[in-house]
Structure 1
């Protein structure tokens, strides 16, 4: 499914205007029996302007970036929290996941911490267990996020069986040394640098909250 291009009419406007202007000039020339030198010069200027508008419109068609194609993710909408989490941790995780779903292209969120899935939210498949593969292990080891811009071209995509099978893009963001926030999108190359900075900031906030053992689980 392709997102509608709301700027299509605007980008077509120079072509339409230039074509209309050129057509009117031709009609005017055809019905003018005696052509004056001043009118000839005006016609030349009009033709140049019409050609310029058409060329501008064609260039806009070529250089305008096209929104990436989106898909309908396979799964069911859900929101799951680990039952033994404290109310403080549940509130923090619910807040963070809501912000990410509302303000980025994220459609699925998995938060894995110290070997446990603390949160699953968004479009979810039936598989709920996270077995860290090479990519998640690398994120934990290097303490740097990994952005898979088009998941289907990566051989390592098989480790993300806990995401919808047609997930298009994935960000794996470390949460301190003990966890990872996995975000799935329904379009490739859809996260911007601003999104990545936003995700990193939320991960830092979660790192602070989850690292406080007294506030993580009920005892």
Structure 2
């Protein structure tokens, strides 16, 4: 994930990744500084999700689509047999007859459709249950960065949260956390404050070191079973999936 052309990001941590960027739309975000009462409004462009109506229809009518090849194959099979019965052609297939060769090919296709339908019925996809993060909402952004960089970072978060299931995003740049948005773990004091990212502890962890050495993305599909979860105390306790990414941008 590229957060912006104005930054050279050394490390990015997020719960999901953006696969494509659709047509943008204009949005705005208001950031209030804790050191003063002033607030700044940053305008940026966020993607507008593009809908695939055919895919939506198939997903909503799964029970109808799965047995459809069986119906088509069965109808084709009976159509071929009925055509051969009323056409006056000998019931025994003759390899020298073009009609017999066409019938055999059609029968093969019909049987293939039936088998494909049986396979579709035997495969049941696992239903995905949405998990609500157990934490508090957090919007921390380093105001030491230029306005252009802040705008790009906010655009990156808006893009991920709109078109993916991403619920938390943390960006570490030059040994400091420049962005922590989405849901975060609540502090032990129970005051409703989010746990801040301890960059020193994070960068010393095995997960971070492994990603930086390999220079590739690390995908943790089941974070609850991963021992390195203790290195990420700032994430909600029921975080399901995590993606570590080392990104270099010029």
Normalised by the shorter chain, which TM-score bucket? 0.5 to 0.7
1:159 correspondence with 2:231: yes
- Offset, 1:149: 2.5
3-state DSSP of counterpart to 1:96: helix
Which whole-Å deviations, capped at 9, do the CAs of 1:120-163 have from their partners, x for residues lacking one?
A: 22333324323412101322344333221322332212222222
3-state DSSP of counterpart to 1:73: coil
Tell me which residue corresponds to 2:241.
169
Change in 2 beyond 3 A, CA 1:83/1:151? same
- Offset, 1:110: 0.7
TM-score, normalised on structure 2? 0.49
1:204 correspondence with 2:248: yes
Is contact 1:73-1:164 (8 Å) kept?
no
> Aligned partners of 1:78, 1:94: CA distance in 2, in Å?
13
Q: Which has the higher contact order (CA 8 A, sep 6+)?
A: 2
Change in 2 beyond 3 A, CA 1:141/1:38? closer
> Aligned partners of 1:89, 1:135: CA distance in 2, in Å?
27
3-state DSSP of counterpart to 1:58: helix
Which whole-Å deviations, capped at 9, do the CAs of 1:65-118 have from their partners, x for residues lacking one?
A: 836624323144443212443323311211222233334443311112334321
The alignment's C-alpha RMSD in Å is: 4.3
Which whole-Å deviations, capped at 9, do the CAs of 1:15-56 have from their partners, x for residues lacking one?
A: 355678999xxxxxxxxxxxx9989x9xxx999987654432
Structure 2 unaligned segments of length 5 or more: list them: 1-55, 79-87, 94-103, 187-193
1:74 correspondence with 2:133: yes
Is contact 1:112-1:130 (8 Å) kept?
no
- Report the number of matched residues: 170
1:98 correspondence with 2:158: yes
TM-score, normalised on structure 1? 0.55
> Aligned partners of 1:68, 1:82: CA distance in 2, in Å?
39
3-state DSSP of counterpart to 2:235: coil
Change in 2 beyond 3 A, CA 1:94/1:142? same
3-state DSSP of counterpart to 2:67: helix
Tell me which residue corresponds to 2:206.
134
